[in-house]
Amino acid sequence: MAVSHVSKAADWKQSVVYQIYPRSFCDSNGDGIGDLPGITSKLDYLQALGVDVVWLSPVYRSPNDDNGYDISDYRAIMDEFGSMADFDTMLEGMHARGIRLMMDLVVNHTSDEHPWFQQARQSRDNPYHDYYIWRDMPTDGSLPNNWEAAFSGSVWEPNPATGEYYLHMFSKKQPDLNWENPKVRQEVYALMRFWLDKGVDGFRMDVINMISKPAGLPDAPVIRGGHLQPSFGMVTNGPRLLEFLREMKAQALDGYDTITVGEAPLATIQQGVDITNAQTGALNMLFQFEHMDLDAIPGDGRGKWALRPLALTDLKASMSRWQNALWQTGWNSLYLSNHDQPRPVSRWGDDGVHRVASAKMLATFLHGLQGTPYVYQGEELGMTNARFACIEDYRDIETLNMYREAVQDRHEAPAEVLARIYVKSRDNARTPMQWDATTHGGFTTGTPWMQTNPNHAEVNAAQARDDADSVWHYYRRLIALRKQLPVLVEGRYALLQPEDPNVYAYTRALGGEVLLVVCNFTPHEQAFVLPAHVAFETQELLIANYAVNAADSVRACTLRPFEARMHVLR
């Protein structure tokens, strides 16, 4: 294969990002919790995989109500994770290997233990009071509006000292910052510059499209009578969102060579274009959620827990809309996995007999698209969902609150609630990284903060690196391909056969080259016929998850269970 250098696109467009969830990555001191020296000890592993950037979930000081997404000091390292010296060593180690570091910037809210909030809650005339969002507490006990928080219950929590409620879109220990206050924005930009001056290379911005709240915080539309209502729709496209992001770019990012991605629940395509447009936007890319919401019943008040099977035609329609709309107007991030989502192989593949084939197929599908691919720790091993026998084995606040509400308040059968948890809990992705077949998967010599998935005996990094046919080596080869083929970075996407419910096939075209990606999303054989309009003279198979006979036709073939092929046609 001809190797050429991709030179036109910006660096981050050619990059592959690896997400580390530090609590579950590698524990160096036997306390059962992953830490920064643990990450440093695995940098050679990341380099061997070939990733260019690490996104590190929060490592700042935190009381850990939401595993670090509740920050009490933005300029200190969480005690369990190590020291600032450990951080500097880790960053140096990354840079020495050509790996850039994106920090997690969590500034829609702080911890209630942050000194700003500790001050703010004392009195209405405290200088920090206006750093947060308050409403008077009526004597009749009524709530300021009908919004439900992400982790159950109302978004409003009483603060007796001031006779007010404060707003928290997530847990009551995560009060929302008031971005209308210019002092808050200056604090955020200053802490961003603090980390950029230390040498970090950018930010993943937590729920960044929620920072601008609508005037008056009006009630959300009622979709469940007699309940609180889903509230994200009210805050994910606030009137000053773009203004705030552009100000942030001008005051905190310009002048540094950064890579940025904004987490954006319910993002619309228009928001995607507005925010990621290179001329008029503010961030390099967004994490949009449309494809993550396809297996939840639309408009159901139970949100992500209202399960329905994924229809492949829906996935095609959604991905294709984003691929087409952001073509030359913005840039996509590509992900199937992170610390908030179940494992893709359990969700959209098969975590039983076809685990390896389906993990590779999903990787082929994702990495062939236009955008910057993200690999979440363990995805490169084909790690699967956990199925713990009892609720006591779970740790995630969202999961535990949902279980309590369902079982205690609504008297639902525990087994049924656990069944939903097996499919959708965030803890599915948070079990410790499986490094080897030893006790606790080599994650810790102590007792892990959450149990290791029992399948670590078969599914682990040591095994995967020894097996040339493993999911790990497949990811390594896919990542390397991106560096060699401009069409993977820049080629224009076109969907083939939108109505086919089993096979997802698409092309990417650049100059005289066409990349063809064909993925069987089912455990059954499927016939594939290439539409006649895709013309070519020669073809080369770039990567596939089964042995493909050289004489096998690109024009028509039978795909084996979860088979995936990527060809270049010329």
Q: Which residues are catalytic?
A: 206, 263
Rounded distance, CA 204 to CA 287, Å?
A: 9
Q: Could you tell me the smallest distance in angstroms from the CB atom of residue 237 to ligand NOJ? A: 17
Q: How far is the CB of 106 from ligand NOJ (least distance, A)?
A: 5
User: For residue 311, is it left (φ>0), alpha (ψ between -120 and 50) or beta?
Assistant: beta
CB 364 within 8 A of CB 517: yes
Shortest separation between residue 497's beta carbon and ligand NOJ, angstroms: 34
Residue 154's contacts (CB-CB under 8 Å, 6 or more residues apart) are 143, 147, 148, 228
Cβ burial, residue 528 (10 Å; 0-12/13-18/19+): buried
Residue 206 Cβ, how far from ligand NOJ at the closest point, in Å?
5
CB of 423 to ligand NOJ, least distance (A): 18
The whole-angstrom separation of Cα 167 and Cα 528 is 53
Amino acid at 266: L
Residue 340 within binding range of ligand NOJ, rule CB under 6 A: yes
- Under 8 Å between Cβ of 450 and 393: yes
Residue 82 identity (one-letter amino acid): G
Please state the φ and ψ torsions of residue 177, each to the nearest 5 degrees: -75, 150
Q: How many residues bind ligand NOJ (CB under 6 A)?
A: 9
149 or 530: CB nearest ligand NOJ: 149
First and final CA of the chain: distance in angstroms? 12
Work out how close the CB of 398 gets to ligand NOJ at its nearest, in angstroms, rounded to a whole number. 7
Report, in Å, the least distance between residue 266 CB and ligand NOJ.
Answer: 13
Task: Tell me the residue ranges of DSSP E strands in 511-563.
Answer: 513-520, 526-529, 539-544, 556-559
| Smaller CB separation from ligand NOJ, 432 or 486 | 432
Q: Does 170 bind ligand NOJ (CB under 6 A)?
A: yes
Closest separation between CB of residue 529 and ligand NOJ, Å? 41
Give the nearer residue to ligand NOJ in terms of CB position, either 207 or 361.
Answer: 207
Question: Which residue number, 244 or 474, has a Cβ lying nearer to ligand NOJ?
Answer: 244
Judged by DSSP in three states, 164 sits in: strand
Q: What is the DSSP string of 89-138?
A: HHHHHHHHTT-EEEEEE--SB--TTSHHHHHHTT-TTSTTGGGB-EEE--
Do the beta carbons of residue 90 and residue 118 sit within 8 Å? no
Nearer to ligand NOJ (CB atom), residue 81 or residue 493: 81
Number of residues in the chain: 570
The reply to whether 148 sits near ligand NOJ by the rule CB under 6 A is no
Q: Which residue is nearest to ligand NOJ (CB)?
A: 69
Place of tokens 């998967």: 441
Q: Which of 80, 164, 176, 206 binds ligand NOJ (CB under 6 A)?
A: 206
- Tokens 């063809």, residue? 516
User: What's the token pair of residue 317?
Assistant: 């329609």
Answer for which of 33, 77, 94, 106 binds ligand NOJ (CB under 6 A) is: 106
Return the DSSP state at 182.
H
Question: Looking at beta carbons only, is 425 or 520 nearer to ligand NOJ?
Answer: 425
Residue 148 or 340 with smaller CB distance to ligand NOJ? 340
Edge to edge, the sheet with strand 134-136 lists 134-136, 164-167, 156-159
Give least dist CB 511 to ligand NOJ, A. 39
Instruction: Please state, in angstroms and rounded to a whole number, the distance separating the CA atoms of residues 508 and 487.
Output: 7
Q: Cα dihedral sign for 162, 163, 169, 171? A: positive
* Residue 210 binds ligand NOJ (CB under 6 A): no
CB of 80 to ligand NOJ, least distance (A): 17
Q: Do residues 335 and 373 lie in contact, with contact meaning Cβ atoms separated by under 8 Å?
A: yes
CB 84, CB 77: distance < 8 Å? yes
Q: Closest CB to ligand NOJ among 433 and 519?
A: 433
Question: Taking a C-beta distance cutoff of 8 angstroms, is the pair 212, 179 a contact?
Answer: yes
Q: Taking CB under 6 A as the rule, does residue 207 contact ligand NOJ?
A: yes
Residues 220-279 that bind ligand NOJ (CB under 6 A): 263
Query: Contact between 66 and ligand NOJ (CB under 6 A)?
Result: yes
- Burial label for 140, CB within 10 Å (0-12, 13-18, 19+), is exposed
Near ligand NOJ by CB under 6 A: residue from 12, 25, 55, 69: 69
Interacting residue ranges for ligand NOJ, rule: CB under 6 A: 66, 69, 106, 170, 206-207, 263, 339-340
